[in-house]
Amino acid sequence: MPRRQAPGIIRFRGQPDESLVDEALSALSGGGVAALPTDTVYGLAVRADLGDAIKRVYRIKGRGFDKPLVLLARDAESAGRLCRDLPSGFDRLAQKFWPGPLTLVLGASRQVTDWGLGGNGTVGVRVSAEAVVRMILERIGVPLASTSANRSGQPECHSGAEVLRSLKEPPDLLLDGGERPRRRPSTVLDLSGPRPVLLRRGAIGRAELEEACGRPVGLARIRALFVCTGNTCRSPMAEGLLRARLPKHWRGLVEAESCGTGALPGMPATATAQQAARKRGFDISGHRSQPLTRDLVEEADLVVAMEDRHRRAVLDLAPGADVMLLDEGGVPDPIGGSLDDYLETLDLQGSNLPEVVRRIGGMLSESEQRKGKRK
């Protein structure tokens, strides 16, 4: 039996039993908001067909109404009924990754629109692998509208205690299933347009999605990572140069970052690197170094190495990483050299940067590029 800790809180471990589900159904059917564990973090959930309950989720979370909720469906068939037309690739993706941490953005059905969801014509749908979510959905008869159970702008919550500390006001019911493992968030893939577009990186990688879709997956945002040794001259100069030379309509769509295979954290770019950057019209005085890590590589869409040894270091950490050399002969290290040495290195980087920009353009979805041009 689950053990009630306090009014509105039910503690359980392992497989939940039917009495817990009874409590959840009672709260949800009365228009209540429940907090419960999901595939990755704790989430807030309400019946998708109760508009007042949906408004309460936004109030409890402190979230703007322009940010949509995700619908949790019982199975792929139920999820398919929430969209206008089943897009190409839906069945293959559902079969491979559901139940699990993949949210698919689909064209919203008339029913979803009638519920006041899918305001921009689309809706995010997921089939959860979490036992308590699945047991509720087996009996409730409608999807659950859900979002992460943390105050908007704050870190996501991995335990019931974190939920209660984070939210502006408590939910009506907290199903406390203990602390969730720290995992990557669910992947969000948009299937509503002519080409699949990855909206959020997460537990399922782009290559896996492309294999399941059978076609390329575009990116709504690009993160480029430059890698050298100490992260105090070559890679911060390349990072700053990319930012300075990005097409204006790509700004906001492309993030640039750098790191070093032997970097100490928190070091500024060398004084001569900063001077060389100013000579070429951009500023890297705010740069602080960071070491190369697996997380940085996995969060990047494109890794650009200064030398082959840096490329090998990246692949040792993440064998499937998309990593290129900025220059096939390697970018020489100007550390300890004169300003002219730094400028020579920077100009070599600049002569090779168009290939990086070309690669980024090939990754960005066409729709996102058009949006950028309209801004």
Residue pLDDT, tens place only, 185-198: 899 999 998 889 99
Q: Residue 99, preceding bond cis, omega within 30 degrees?
A: yes
Return the structure tokens found at 172.
């009506």
Q: Which residues of 112-143 are buried (b: 16+ CB within 10 A; e: fewer)?
A: beebebbeeebbbbbbbebebbbbbbeebebb
- Every domain range in the chain assigned CATH 3.90.870.10: 3-213
Residues facing 104 on adjacent strands: 125, 189
Identify the band that residue 367 occupies on the pLDDT scale cut at 50, 70 and 90.
very low
Residues of the chain with CATH 3.40.50.2300: 222-374
CA distance 184 to 251: 26
Mean pLDDT across 84-97: 93
Q: 3-213 adopts what CATH topology? A: DHBP synthase (3.90.870)
pLDDT band at 3 (very low <50, low <70, confident <90, very high): very low
Percent composition of the chain: helix, strand, coil (DSSP 3-state, to 5): 35, 20, 40
Rounded average pLDDT over 253-275: 97
CATH assignment of 222-374? Answer: 3.40.50.2300
Task: List the structure tokens of 301.
Answer: 């869409």
Q: State the average pLDDT over residues 232-247.
A: 96
Identity of residue 259: C
Q: Mean of the per-residue pLDDT values for the chain?
A: 91
List beta partners, residue 226. 258, 304
Give the residue-averaged pLDDT of 339-354.
98
For the entire predicted model, the pTM comes to: 0.76
**What is the token pair recorded at 38?**
């999901």
Closest by alpha carbon to 60, among 148, 133, 120?
Answer: 148
